[in-house]
Structure 1
Amino acid sequence: MDEQEAIKRLKNSDEKAFSFLYKSYWPKVNHFTRLYIIDTDSAEEIIQEVFIKLWEHRKELNESGSLDGYLFIITRNLIFNSSRQSFNHQFYQTTIIEAMEQSYNIDEELDAADLHAYINSIIEQLPPRQQEVFRLSREHQLTYQEIAQKLQISIKTVERHMGEALKFLRKNLRLYAIFLMLMD
């Protein structure tokens, strides 16, 4: 089954099509969510909510479109809602206001592959050890303790590397978001 066929069948409440799309997109949604949400339980809740929303809004899907952009929007919004206290409040308000003012057209939305490439380019700017710690945590889902053991460093050092890496990523992604808003 290909993506378009799965979307068409999902619109008709086909659970097998939903399962196919879930298995296909879970890794992408998980990876994107884990860039922002450190707590595993919170990340899993967000990921589940993304797919619940997909099911709830299945009748509205565009059969000829791609789910990447649609799932990106849902995931981004759930992450913003989940962690708004950690964001700069004014930036958060501006983003929400603009999101409400604009109607989203999935075809015009940022392509998830481009965003993934951009995030990878930011990660590659990190110092080598921070990069290694970050990738072990987010791409290999190792705990801080497992990373510390694997790299033979203290857990505090792992926490420091992750904190600095996440701070750098958030700063650069915010700048990118602001740039995109200014381009509209």
Structure 2
Amino acid sequence: MNEIDAVKAFKNGDKKAFKYLFELYYDRLVAYIVTYTHDKMSSEDIVQQAFVNLWKDRGKLDEIRSPKNYLYAIAYNRYIDSVTKEKRKTKLFDVVYERALRDRIEEDREVLDKRIEKMNSIISTLPPRCQEILKMNKVQGFRYKDIAETLGISVKTVESQMGIAFKKIRKAFEDDKLILLLLRNVTM
């Protein structure tokens, strides 16, 4: 059987003719598509799909011509379709990832706002002198020695007041591991 005879028989649905054309062009088409994909497995998938398309559209074949150019065109178009599909899929994943990240940031912001609100509430229950010392250290950045000099108290008193503040904050946040970790690092 030659190519032209195979095309004539194939147009009439002859499976042996299809097998002949498949065996004649399969490896060549895979090698051709690999030059684009650089991946043999995906190239094989593309070429197999090209042969499925050839089977479906066998009535379009010209009985006096080799199907070579037609097969190469189909395979190339399947490759382009796969690239386009992959780009759409990647774009969709990027959109989904971005939305998930945005939602996570909003959730984290809500959690952070609640933590800050809770922290302010706890600080407001501290004795006034303890609140003042805590704010001077954590908000204004004063060192214990500077706080002691400014308020006319001993460094030990500042340490004691900070200890009271941290104990109360730790107790209120004992179920919140992040705050406890931060407090542990701050007091060291």
TM-score for the superposition, normalised by structure 1: 0.44
TM-score for the superposition, normalised by structure 2: 0.43
Larger relative contact order (CA 8 Å, sep ≥ 6): 1
